[in-house]
A and B are shown apart, each in its own frame.
Chain A
Amino acid sequence: MTRNRFAKIIYCSIRSFLPVSVFLGFLLLTLSSGAYAQSFWRKNDRNTFIRNIQFNFNIPSARAVGLGGAFVAIADDATAGMANPAGLTILTKPEVSVHYKTSRFSHTEFAGNEENHDLRRRFSNNVGSQSYLSLVYPYGKFSFSLYRQELINFESSYEGEGFGSIFDTPDLEPDEFAMGNKTRSDIEVKNWGAAFAYKPTRYLSIGVSSMVSSLEFRFFEQLFQGQPQAQRPVEVFSVNNNSSDTRYSVNLGLKFEPHPDFNFGAVFRSGPRFDIVNTIKDIDESSGRTVIRQADEDLVFKVPDVYSLGVAYRPLDNLTLSLDIVRVEYSDLIGGLDRNLNDDDIGVSIPEFPYTRFVDGDGVEDLVLQDGTEVHFGVEYYLITKKWAIPLRAGFYTDPSHVVYTTVENEALKRLFPRGSDQVHGTCGFGFVLQNKIQIDTAVNFSRNVSEFLLSAVFRF
Chain B
Amino acid sequence: MLHKSLPIFPILIFLSALLSACEESDQHSSERVVFNVSADESQAGFSTNLAGNIYLIATSGNSFLNLENTGTVQDSLFNPERLEITITLAGDLIPSLTDNPNGYRVNTQFQFEGGIIQVSHTNQASKITNPEGDTLYAIRGEGMVSSGDETFKNISGLFYEVSTYKISPDTSEQSSVQRLITKIDCRYELIIDF
What is A's interface to B at a CB cutoff of 8 Å?
13, 18, 22-23, 25-26, 29, 33, 35-36, 38-43, 94, 96, 135, 137, 144, 146-148, 190, 192-194, 212, 214, 242-246, 275, 277, 280, 282, 291, 293-298, 342-343, 345-349, 353-358, 461
Q: Is B127 an interface residue (CB 8 A)?
A: yes
Please measure, in the bound complex, the distance between the C-alpha atom of A135 and the C-alpha atom of B6, giving whole angstroms: 9
Stretch touching chain A among B42-50, B154-162, B170-178: B154-162
Is B2 in the interface zone, CB < 8 Å from A? yes
Would A357 and B103 be within 8 Å (CB), given that A144-B10, A295-B157, A295-B193 are in contact? Answer: no
A135 touches B13 (CB 8 A): yes
- The answer on a CB contact under 8 Å between B101 and A192 is no
- In the complex, chain B residues whose CB is within 8 Å of the CB of A94: 3, 6
Which residues of A sit under 8 angstroms from B151, Cβ to Cβ? none
Listed stretches B72-80, B109-117, B134-142; interface member: B134-142
Beyond A148-B13, A293-B144, A461-B3: 4 further Cβ-contacts under 8 Å?
A194-B14, A296-B193, A356-B136, A461-B2
* Neighbouring A residues of B2 by C-beta, 8 Å: 461
Please classify the interface of chain A as helix (H, G, I), strand (E, B), loop, or mixed, using the class held by over half of its residues. Answer: strand
B21 (CB) vs chain A CBs: closest residue:
A212
Structural contact, B130 and A355, CB atoms closer than 8 A: yes
Interface of B: prevailing SS: strand
- Are B138 and A296 touching (Cβ within 8 A)? no
Q: Does B145 belong to the interface (CB within 8 Å)?
A: yes
A38–B156 CB distance below 8 A: no
Report the minimum CB–CB distance from A134 to chain B (whole Å).
Answer: 9
The answer to whether B20 and A192 touch across the interface, beta carbons within 8 angstroms, is yes
Q: Which residue of chain A lies nearest to B102 when distances are taken between CB atoms in the complex?
A: A26
Query: Is the pair A349, B101 in contact by a Cβ cutoff of 8 Å?
Result: no
Q: What are 19 A-B pairs at a CB distance below 8 A?
A: A29-B100, A33-B90, A38-B102, A39-B143, A43-B142, A43-B160, A245-B26, A282-B144, A293-B144, A295-B156, A296-B30, A296-B158, A297-B191, A348-B128, A353-B38, A353-B187, A354-B187, A356-B163, A358-B140
Q: A246-B21, A461-B2 are in contact. Are A354 and B14 (CB under 8 A)?
A: no
Contact A212 B127 (CB under 8 A): no
Are A358 and B124 closer than 8 Å at their CB atoms? yes
Q: How far is the CA of A277 from the CA of B30 in the complex (A)?
A: 11
Chain B residue nearest to A93 (CB atoms) is B3
Which A residues are in CB contact (< 8 Å) with B101? 22, 25-26, 343
A298 in complex: contacting residue of B28, B128, B137, CB < 8 Å:
B28
Task: Looking at the assembled complex, report how far the CB atom of B143 sits from the nearest CB atom of chain A, in whole angstroms.
Answer: 5
Inter-chain contact A18/B102, CB cutoff 8 Å: yes
Residue on A with the closest CB to B101?
Answer: A22
Contact of B146 among A36, A43, A190, A293 (CB under 8 A): A293
Q: How far is the CA of A146 from the CA of B102 in the complex (A)?
A: 55
Asked if B163 contacts A354 (CB within 8 A), the reply is yes
Q: Which residue of A lies closest to B2 (CB)?
A: A461
A293 to chain B: which residues have CB within 8 Å? 120, 144-146, 156
Q: Which of the residues B136, B138, B146, B158 comes within 8 Å of A358, measured between beta carbons?
A: B138
Contact between B126 and A358, CB atoms less than 8 A apart: yes
A214 to B23, Cβ gap below 8 A?
Answer: yes
Selected contact of A36 from candidates B36, B88, B130, B193, CB within 8 Å: B88
A347: chain B residues at CB < 8 Å are: 125-128, 137-138
Evaluate contact between B128 and A280: CB separation under 8 angstroms: no
**Lowest 3 CB-CB distances: which A-B pairs, in order?**
A347-B126, A347-B138, A356-B138
